[in-house]
Amino acid sequence: MAARLTGRPAGRAGRLSGSPAEVLLDGGTPVMVKRGDGPGAVRAEVAGLRWLAAAGAVRVPAVLGHDEHWMVTERVPTGSPDPAAALRFGQALAALHAAGAPHFGAPPPDGPQDAYIGLAPMRNAPGTDWPAWYAEHRVLPYVRGAVDRGTLLPGEADVFERVCARLPELAGPAEPPARLHGDLWNGNVLWGADGEVRIIDPAAHGGHRETDLAMLQLFGCPHLDRVLAGYQEAAPLADGWRDRVALHQLFPLLVHAVLFGRGYGEQALTGARRALAR
């Protein structure tokens, strides 16, 4: 598979036992081989990696080859999280966001509108007003999905609908669309052995920059205080951003409620009620 997609002989052949899997190319070069989780998933991820790389900000693994179902990327040797690397990562993340997007919901160039965040479908539909777009495409579809799966009760959907109705006043100052990684939890942050951070597995789209930062805080990140300090140094966030973290975390929490169950639904409810209490 790796040989076919890269045009380079593989030093270790055989069937892949999992995805992603490490494979050695001829000469001992390690690469990662990954199978897409659904129709268009590889196309979306490849387009996302290339769009993020084009910003010249946060580093991403190079795409070495792909088809409709499989992709091959460089393997990143990892090391230990480091405060200095975290500060640089925050600065680079600010530069990535500042590279911008044509509109909220913009897919990467050559990327599909119907993409994924993890295993969940994610539609990249255009919008010009962030509160309305966030409600329509990043909150309410996953509320409906969670109700359908029984991880939210029908009556609990009203809490999220009330948040969405108040989004224009809760969202803070208007900002231009940012170039988002889109699934920036700690597992998608690689601390390179060379002292530089890479980000992997994007659900890239145009969105609000605070969403990436809120997701990074939701699932924990080593030296998060240094990441945020670097970001604030490069591109200060609007006043009140800490009060809006719960609002931006609704998207990943609802996705997790759809995929993984009631516990995440309860966390999303807590965040929604916290937002309404402001």
Q: Is residue 17 part of a domain?
A: no
* Domain assignment of residue 57, yes or no: no
Are residues 31 and 23 in contact, defined by beta-carbon separation less than 8 angstroms?
yes
In a domain, 206, yes or no: yes
pLDDT tens by residue, 224-278: 999 999 999 999 999 999 999 999 999 999 999 999 999 999 999 999 999 998 8
* Side-chain half-sphere exposure of 94, counting CA atoms within 13 A: 16
Give me 126's structure tokens: 């255009």
**Would residue 164 count as lying in a domain?**
yes
Q: What is the pLDDT of residues 85-142, one digit of tens each?
A: 999 999 999 999 999 999 999 999 999 999 999 999 999 999 999 999 999 999 999 9
Enter the tokens of residue 70.
Answer: 């499989």
Cα–Cα nearest to 170, from 141, 114, 208, 119: 208
User: Is 183 annotated as catalytic?
Assistant: yes
Q: Which pLDDT belongs to residue 266?
A: 97
Per the structure, the complete domain to which residue 122 belongs is given by: 77-276
- Find the mean pLDDT for residues 188-215: 97
Residue 11 lies in a domain: no
Instruction: Reply yes or no on whether the pLDDT at 16 is more than 80.
Output: no
Which of 237, 176, 197 minimizes the C-alpha distance to 52?
Answer: 197
Highest mean pLDDT among 11-15, 72-76, 132-136: 132-136
CA 117/CA 132 separation, integer angstroms = 20
Position 42 in a domain: no
Residue 22: both structure tokens together: 């490490």
- Catalytic residue, chosen from 82, 183, 201, 212, is 183
The whole-model pTM stands at 0.94
- Count the domains in the chain: 1
CATH number of the domain enclosing 189: 3.90.1200.10
- 198 has a pLDDT exceeding 50: yes
Cβ 70 vs Cβ 1: under 8 Å: yes
Residue 70 lies in a domain: no
**221 belongs to a structural domain:** yes
- Residue from 237, 202, 226 nearest 111 by CA: 202
Stretch 34-56: mean pLDDT, rounded? 94
Average pLDDT over residues 18-37: 84
pLDDT band at 18 (very low <50, low <70, confident <90, very high): low
- The token pair at 9 is 């002989």
Segment 151-193, tens digit of pLDDT: 999 999 999 999 999 999 999 999 999 999 999 999 999 999 9
How far apart, in whole angstroms, are the C-alpha atoms of residue 220 and residue 185? 7
